[in-house]
Amino acid sequence: MSRAVLGLGSNLGDRLAHLRDAVAALDDVLVLASGVYETPPWGDAEQPHYLNAVVLAVEPGAPPRRWLDRAQRLETAAGRVRDRERQFGPRTLDVDVIAVWDEQDEPVISDNPELTLPHPRAHLRAFVMRPWIDLQPYGEIPGQGWLTDLLQAEPARADVPDVRARPDLTLESR
């Protein structure tokens, strides 16, 4: 089984609908989905707040690249328009491949710019790690450490109080 943790984010349009559509399209591989979190923009302050969530997915025999293809197809389906001038700018849907484990359950480590694994900024982002803890309280970012420790470390710790659970919002669309 190839296992992946995917991060979902949206701050344009119907944010919850974008997340729900993505989760519905992952139905064949979905194992668990986190709660929904309202989060201030990271990396570029001049934009609306995001809704973020994290999912755990499995697919027998999937090479790491397949997770990226899938992520990018979901972004396209949500009508995402890329602004080359603005790396961390607003978007209808962002799907990041946060970490992948191979068939032997070994973490995939790669510095390929097309698909860097684990995601090179995941350990700095409370908006990724906090929802991930919903799924795996003892989860670990390969090569970085335990989620609980990373969330206590600067600079992620400063963002934790602003990453707010939205129990009124759920990812199931049914």
Ligand X SMILES: Nc1nc2c(c(=O)[nH]1)N=C(CO)CN2
Residues of this chain that bind ligand X (CB under 6 A): 9, 39-43, 50, 52, 88, 94, 127
Task: Identify whether the C-beta of residue 31 lies closer than 8 Å to the C-beta of residue 116.
Answer: no
Q: What is the DSSP-derived secondary structure letter of residue 42? A: S
159 touches, from ligand X, ligand ATP, none (C-beta below 5 to 8 Å by class): none
Residues in contact with ligand ATP, total (CB under 6 A)?
A: 14
Q: Is 65 in the site for ligand ATP (CB under 6 A)?
A: no
Q: Is 3 in the site for ligand ATP (CB under 6 A)?
A: no
Q: Which of residues 44-63 bind ligand ATP (CB under 6 A)?
A: none
123 touches, from ligand X, ligand ATP, none (C-beta below 5 to 8 Å by class): none
Angle, helices 64-77 vs 15-25, to 10°: value is 140
41 touches, from ligand X, ligand ATP, none (C-beta below 5 to 8 Å by class): ligand X
**Taking the complex as a whole, how short is the minimal distance between the CB of residue 114 and ligand ATP, in angstroms?**
5
Nearer to ligand X by Cβ, of 63 and 77: the residue is 77
Nearer to ligand X by Cβ, of 63 and 166: the residue is 166
Nearer to ligand ATP by Cβ, of 65 and 170: the residue is 65
CB atoms within 10 A of CB 82: 9
Q: What is the DSSP-derived secondary structure letter of residue 122? A: G
Q: What is the DSSP string of 57-118?
A: EEETT--HHHHHHHHHHHHHHTT----TT-TT---S-EEEEEEEE-TTSPBP-EEETTEEES
Position of tokens 């090179």?
120
Structure tokens at 53: 């969530």
With 0-12 CB in 10 A as exposed, 13-18 as middle and 19+ as buried, what is 154? exposed
Q: Is 159 in the site for ligand ATP (CB under 6 A)?
A: no
Nearer to ligand ATP by Cβ, of 66 and 170: the residue is 66
Which segment (21-29, 90-98, 130-138, 157-165) binds ligand ATP by CB under 6 A? Answer: 90-98
